[in-house]
Structure 1
Amino acid sequence: MKSSQQSGSFPYELKTFPSRLVDGELSPEIAPWIQAVAMGFHGDAPTPEISKRYVESEQIDGRMVTGAYLSHGTAPAGAWGAQYPVATYAYHRKTLNVGVGTLLPVHQITAVTVRPSHRRRGLLRAMMSSDLAQAKAAGIPIAALTASEATIYGRFGFGVATHESEVEITVKGGITFHNPAAAAHGTVEVADAIVVRDLHNEIFAQVHEATYGSIGRQDMYRLAASGQGNYGAMEPVKNIRAALHYNAAGAVDGYVTYKPVDDAARSVVEVVDLLATTGEAYLGLWNFLGSLDLIDVIKWDKAPLVDPLEWAMAAKRNYKRTASEDLLWLRILDVPAALAARDYRSEGSITIHVGDPLGHASGRFRIDVVHGKATVTRLAEDFSAPESEDTDGPLLDMGVAELSSLYLGGVSAQTLTKAGRVRELRPGAAAAFDALFSPAEAPHCLTSF
């Protein structure tokens, strides 16, 4: 266990330890930490048995957890004892697809809570600052999170990098495709949902490697996808169904799990999880969903912003996007390492200045792209020539949150310039930046954490 004692004006001690079982049982530290997280997210208080199942899954991910504890070790009579953290934080490390199958190590932050009675005392800043500094020191170039609230993490340098859509597809009478043959490759068969638990990791690994913007999934996903449990409800879902897609060779190359949901006005099925390793498997699974008897509408809350299904359907208006929300937030820690790792479609050079309130990504950088790869050079900050005369002068000025949003190309520098978040120091610089950073396809993340 790592512990850090703060100053007298900060009456808390930060303790970090692995989420794991000790001799098959919950450790004294992890049980109250889990209770604090459940309280922070308004979940049911988990029993020791449910907590053990959480930890069994989390130790597969190598999850590390942090708690902020009252340093004097006492609490008022009748209140939760000092063994319960007043704030929680956790991380695990997976990979991020940054183009052409390149999987970049990423530091994934989760389970962030602060007890209401201890807010506005610097707890989140203390935990976040310490953790990001350690991740940077460990050589991790990017941190990531999915946010339950939209206004918390920008001040720590996180920027929205991907979005997801909630969609409704009218399927009464089936889905008619522009090219029916494209949705008829391979076969689809019904399976027990529990089969997906064992197929998930292999299928997701292929999808992850092929999907720009995808981030690694935690072990709990194979349980959630198969209806075997999830945070807040570890009881199996009784009405979940599954179908598998088989390619021409008879190998499983995709699956969907789904369940009916209550709707007084119409019959609705909700997609729980859908993974397809090929475009043919993706359309084939939707062809199957469209063939479900007695169903009017299929709902899915993880659809990509640019969805091939929408353009495959002959009746495009039957595909309705009912909501769109940010999903993946990125936070660059090492500018040269992060920018050198991703793929580029055009060649050129540009110089940027990056501001970072925590100091990890601050500086002036020249980006030179040749044959799809970037060389990133850190430049001296103290240049004396006017920017109009200095060839190494910055063309764009931005914060690390803005650079993190631009990283995958989910938004353009020209858009952020018009939004007042990027400052163009030379005319045309934002367009030049976009020419380098524009991706071959829109980024899509399939993972919440």
Structure 2
Amino acid sequence: MSTDREPSTRHPRPFPYELRTFPVRLVDGEVPAEVASWTQAVALGFYGNAPTPEDIAKFAAVEQVDGRMATGAYLTDAAAPAGAWGPEYPVATYAYHRKTLNVGGGTLLPVHQITAVTVRPSHRRRGILRAMISSDLAQAKAAGIPIAALTASEAVIYGRFGFGVATHVCQVEVASRGGITLLNPGAAALGTVEVADALAVRDLHNEIFARVHAATYGSIGRHDMYRLVASGQGNYADMEPAKNIRAALHYDSAGAVDGYVTYKPDDAARPPTVKIVDLLAAGEGAYLALWNYLGSLDLIERVTWDMAPEVDPLEWAMAAKRDYKRTETEDHLWLRILDAPAALAARPYAADGRVAIHVGDPLGHASGIFRIDVVHGTATVTRCPEDGSVAAELSMGVSELSSLYLGAVTARTLLAAGRLREEHPGAAARFDALFARPDSAHSLTNF
């Protein structure tokens, strides 16, 4: 496009953007132009390096595996000023792919995973994000997906669209000088740990993660890029293989691999530190055995991890519990219920009973009065008429229900926080008795 055109003098429409959605993929081995410009816009929004054509081709190849769909908002009412990016570059980006969420009881619930959300600074506060997310959630609901999810770069954006914090993740530092002493050393002696080439992790990742995902309450599916990230073969910041990623594999008593850890030295840290890149443990004893291996590394005095669970067996296995330090706890997985009856019926319950809730939803997807009847841990969820014939015992927004869904918070805590209303005395306690979980939710996936 020529860069010497005069800016348009037409009066802009109230929303002068066109939303276009297309698959991220290669066509005859080549990157479509719309995918290339969209990828450049994502990199701009996340302050990443400008990707090369080779990088974009690699991104498209892995995202094609996930069936990723991209949306861009394109300015249609004005020409680009001289020297600026042209209209082929979206001023905002958005994408989704679909995996599953472990909601307990062996159920992997279909989930709509949102990612790559950016809005160019010069086009903010014009309703673009609202248009993209409203359209996308409506289509996901129409497709029968009961719940949406994202991991948020900023904490104050997504609540107004009905998302609620559903899991947390911890950054930890574990003192390892002289080894990690365990109260029961035998718990880390099941199977064996051996050093491996990091490339082995790339090929083992999917099988091991599938086992971890099926066994971990709150786990959400990983996208194909994770095979490369875990093995140091590339990421969205740099597709060049890292030269300092090391790996160790855990073998069960039959000699089968049931876990791994990849790690790298943290050259900027003092005392000498290694940082975990990825750790997956699917078999009995694999988790503690891999930590025991990390504690045995010569010349290393500390091990750090950014994806530790809130309740970590390692902390309670260590003889010196104070050598395990949480340096930060942060919201991680955000959920957004789209179909309340389907989502609520999918998860298991701790006790039998009944509670009726009123849910408000600014987008209308999960609004209504719902009676939850639990018998033998399984719920029947009924949408009730809103004519006054059924009285709700608790009233809340969909954001609050989405946070309660996996047990990130209790109804009584939200009641004290002023975020839900108890219409019948004791209803919050009865809700919590139904929704209680013996384990805390933990997700090992960023997206």
Instruction: Report TM bin, short chain.
Output: over 0.9
Q: What's the counterpart of residue 241 of structure 2?
A: 236
CA drift at 1:265: 3.1
Work out whether 1:440 is the aligned partner of 2:438.
yes
SS of corresponding position for 1:26? coil
Please tell me the residue identity of whatever aligns with 1:230.
N
Distance (Å, rounded) in 1 between the aligned partners of 2:343 and 2:301: 45
CA drift at 1:279: 4.2
TM-score by length of 2: 0.96
Pairing partner for 2:309 from 297, 304, 314: 304
Pairing partner for 1:247 from 249, 252, 255: 252
Q: Show the 5 A alignment for 1:113-124.
A: 113-124=118-129
Name the % identity.
73
Please tell me the residue identity of whatever aligns with 1:179.
N
Mapped contact 2:190–2:284 kept (Cα < 8 A): no
SS of corresponding position for 2:201? helix
Distance (Å, rounded) in 2 between the aligned partners of 1:34 and 1:28: 10
Please tell me the residue identity of whatever aligns with 2:402.
S
Q: Show the 5 A alignment for 1:255-404.
A: 255-263=260-268, 265-383=270-388, 392-404=390-402
Distance (Å, rounded) in 2 between the aligned partners of 1:88 and 1:64: 11
Q: Which runs of 5+ in 2 are unaligned?
A: 1-11
Distance (Å, rounded) in 1 between the aligned partners of 2:229 and 2:215: 22
CA drift at 1:8: 3.0
Count of residues paired in the alignment: 436
Q: Show the 5 A alignment for 1:174-253.
A: 174-253=179-258
CA drift at 1:382: 1.3
Distance (Å, rounded) in 1 between the aligned partners of 2:421 and 2:240: 51
SS of corresponding position for 1:398? strand
Distance (Å, rounded) in 1 between the aligned partners of 2:240 and 2:199: 13
Pairing partner for 1:417 from 410, 415, 421: 415
Please tell me the residue identity of whatever aligns with 1:255.
Y
Pairing partner for 1:16 from 15, 18, 21: 21
SS of corresponding position for 2:311? coil
SS of corresponding position for 2:33? coil
Distance (Å, rounded) in 1 between the aligned partners of 2:241 and 2:218: 30
SS of corresponding position for 2:139? helix
**Deviations 1:234-271 (CA, angstroms, capped at 9, x unpaired):** 11110110000000000000000000002453100000
CA drift at 1:414: 0.7
Mapped contact 2:252–2:283 kept (Cα < 8 A): no
Distance (Å, rounded) in 1 between the aligned partners of 2:437 and 2:64: 35
**Deviations 1:317-356 (CA, angstroms, capped at 9, x unpaired):** 1000000000000000000000000111211000000000
Please tell me the residue identity of whatever aligns with 1:67.
G
Distance (Å, rounded) in 2 between the aligned partners of 1:73 and 1:33: 19
Please tell me the residue identity of whatever aligns with 2:415.
T
Work out whether 1:427 is the aligned partner of 2:425.
yes
CA drift at 1:410: 1.5
Please tell me the residue identity of whatever aligns with 2:192.
T
Pairing partner for 1:158 from 158, 163, 170: 163
Distance (Å, rounded) in 2 between the aligned partners of 1:379 and 1:264: 57
Pairing partner for 2:69 from 55, 64, 72: 64
Distance (Å, rounded) in 2 between the aligned partners of 1:43 and 1:298: 27
CA drift at 1:42: 0.5
SS of corresponding position for 1:51? helix
Distance (Å, rounded) in 2 between the aligned partners of 1:213 and 1:158: 16
Work out whether 1:34 is the aligned partner of 2:34.
no
Please tell me the residue identity of whatever aligns with 2:325.
K
Please tell me the residue identity of whatever aligns with 2:161.
F
Distance (Å, rounded) in 2 between the aligned partners of 1:113 and 1:371: 45
SS of corresponding position for 1:29? helix
Distance (Å, rounded) in 2 between the aligned partners of 1:101 and 1:235: 38
Distance (Å, rounded) in 2 between the aligned partners of 1:198 and 1:101: 25
SS of corresponding position for 2:193? strand
Distance (Å, rounded) in 1 between the aligned partners of 2:236 and 2:396: 37
CA drift at 1:98: 0.3
Distance (Å, rounded) in 2 between the aligned partners of 1:101 and 1:357: 32
Q: Which moved more, 1:419-428 or 1:329-338?
A: 419-428
Q: What's the counterpart of residue 389 of structure 1?
A: none
SS of corresponding position for 1:433? helix
TM-score by length of 1: 0.96
Q: Which moved more, 1:263-272 or 1:298-307?
A: 263-272
Please tell me the residue identity of whatever aligns with 1:80.
W
Compared CA separation, residues 309 and 264, structure 1 to 2 (3 A): closer
CA drift at 1:73: 6.2
Compared CA separation, residues 264 and 214, structure 1 to 2 (3 A): closer
Q: What's the counterpart of residue 82 of structure 2?
A: 77
Distance (Å, rounded) in 1 between the aligned partners of 2:359 and 2:205: 39
**Deviations 1:381-440 (CA, angstroms, capped at 9, x unpaired):** 1116xxxxxxx3111100000000000011111111111111111111111100000112
Distance (Å, rounded) in 1 between the aligned partners of 2:267 and 2:277: 15
Distance (Å, rounded) in 1 between the aligned partners of 2:88 and 2:422: 51
